[in-house]
Amino acid sequence: MSSSETRADPPAGSVPGDTPAASARPAARQGELALFAPPAATDEMLVPARMVNEWTYCPRLAVLEWGRGEWAGNADTAAGRRAHKATETGAAPALPEPEALPDDKALKTRRLLLASERLGLTAELDVIEADDGCVVPVDIKTGKRPHVAEGAYLPERVQVCVQALLLREAGYVCDEGALWFADSRERVRVELTDELIATALRAASDLRLTVASGRLPPPLDHSQKCVRCSLLPICLPDEVNWFRKGAIARTPPPAATPALPLYVQTPGARVTKKDFTLVVQVEGEADRAVPLDEVSELVLAGPISLTTPAVHELLRRDVPVAWMSSGFWYLGSTGPQGPRSAAVRTAQYAFAADEARRLVFARELVAAKIRNSRTILRRNWRGEDGERGPLLDRLALLADRTARADNAAALLGLEGEAAALYFRALPKLFTEGVAALPAFAFERRNRRPPADPVNACLSLLYAVLTRTFASAISVAGLDPWKGVYHVERPGRPALALDLIEPFRPVLADSAVLMALNNGELAPDDFVSAAGGCNLKPKARRALIAAYERRLDQETTHPAFGYQVSMRRLIQIQARLFARFVSGEIPRYPHYVPR
């Protein structure tokens, strides 16, 4: 039973760990027990006042941000940073010790950090005013003062109340707090009532106990609070609630950033930083500058140099750098690795250790891949109609048989049989012009190295797709190297290889078909040597451009029913897999379009 279900309200003015006299304690009803988080241990994180604000606003938001280390910015958070930055300008006197406060003059200081292990709280105060021996914390807020009876909403009043309690704990006399709304330039007095103090302390206690338990509170249900929340793309409230309600009322959460990946593949190129841009320098060519705000990921293929100032700026902006070989084999990533918490990875490892759950997931994964392969054939078929029906029926039968597979070896057999049928029929999806070119003759899938141009294109985009998923997986807090269906090997991002399976036909294969059938690739765009085939640099750029266009195309999510770009879909799927292994949703909704 949670503390909120068993706890009686605390006495006014009490703190976690206090033991008030029996006469001051409210009478507990039968079945109730006063339960508060104990004083913080020496090595325990103290709850920031801002997190008490967020718990009061939305418990899930506070746990995601403080307990799980999740963060995403938006226009509102940027405005908040600018408003608080203004308090750092100009010199301000230090706040004297409580006994040294002057009685005959007023003082004003800025940016004071306070903490208390007994309260389990900490706060960074924007402004502190002192007059006549008393101090008043002033918290700066963006926006305009809300027109409510209390002068401000409860979460903001709770936050300034925590600041006042910390000042009292430090020995200062503090009878009230204040909020300053920057846009309307209005000041609101916050009265430190017994009820407000009890609410603040109860919220801080509940947050600490929830984080300690490892529990993630459920999302709000169709709340307007979610609309402008910066963590909406991470929280996925409607998607999580869909498993309970079976319906979604809103459009998909926006991407955390509209930026796109930047690919650099010219050998010897150098990437540096200048002002707010990344500059790509290639000997004998004009420098190319790309605004940093437009870069979601930097992909370096082959011997490319990256300067230290550029690395520092990318780290500050949480922009990952993907390292790939000249042939676009994914080597790994540097930079941000998702939330600063191991909670999701711990759940992932526990899931991977459960053989029964792994098998159920693998069955659904292979079935989704086979069904998507069938969909690509059905949508793009250019051969004889009489050939298509039996082929589609055979693939549908193989997809259904995955539900009866007893082990991974049986699934591999079904997957292999379906892949042989699918790739054997792939030339039936080419236009007549492409099919007539001997250079684009295709009989079967091969790799290491690919023997012909079509296989070279498939191998390249499978590697790029792996990189795309590895990045999304890491950002979601998952370990890309710990797989469920694929065998783990050093240097092999097994989980990325798992999750890309249903996307191979609908993203990589369809992009190859697009580039070939549209005439974006020609036979002389390839070079063959030592039994292998590879794309020339210009052809790689053309094929990757086709892949990026495919990512920008919109699709209907088969489970939730809303329109979303393929690029955003990958991010949503990675987040949903994290929710799945954590036990928050009962199943992982594979992407299987109609």
Mean pLDDT value across the chain: 83
Same CATH fold, 342-582 and 260-334?
no
Binding-site residues sit at 415, 486, 501
Give per-residue pLDDT as tens, 271-297.
999 888 899 988 888 888 888 888 888
Residue 332, pLDDT score = 76
Q: Which is more confident, 153 or 3? A: 153
- Between CA 584 and CA 589 the distance in angstroms is 13
Pick from 92, 172, 86: which is nearest to 131 by CA?
172
pLDDT at 1: 34
- 135-163: string of b/e by CB count within 10 Å (b at 16+)? bbbbbbbbeebeeeeebbebbbbbbbbbb
Q: What distance lies between CA 207 and its chain's CA centroid?
A: 22
The whole model's pTM is what? 0.79
Q: Tell me the CATH architecture of domain 342-582.
A: Up-down Bundle (1.20)
Annotated binding site for Mn(2+): 415, 486, 501
- List all residues 6 or more positions away from 558 whose beta carbon is below 8 Å from its beta carbon: 589, 591, 592, 593, 594
CA end-to-end distance (rounded Å), the chain: 44
Query: Closest Cα to residue 159, out of 54, 87, 39?
Result: 54
Structure tokens at 291: 């605004």
pLDDT value at residue 400: 93
Domain boundaries of the chain, sorted by first residue: 47-216, 260-334, 342-582
Name which of 367-371, 402-406, 439-443, 462-466 the model is least confident about: 439-443
In the chain, % of residues over pLDDT 90: 37
What is the spatial distance between Cα 92 and Cα 105, in angstroms, rounded to a whole number? 15
Domain 47-216, CATH among 3.90.1310.10, 3.90.320.10, 2.40.110.10, 3.40.50.620: 3.90.320.10
Judge if the upstream peptide bond of residue 449 is cis by omega within 30 degrees of 0.
yes
Q: Across residues 66-82, what is the average pLDDT?
A: 64
pLDDT, tens digit, 9 for 90 and up, residues 337-389: 666 778 889 999 999 999 999 999 999 999 999 999 999 999 988 877 778 88
Per-residue pLDDT, averaged over 171-199, amounts to 91
Q: Specify the pLDDT at position 343.
A: 85
Class of domain 260-334: alpha beta
31-40, 151-160, 213-222, 384-393, range with the lowest pLDDT: 31-40
What's the confidence (pLDDT) of residue 5? 36
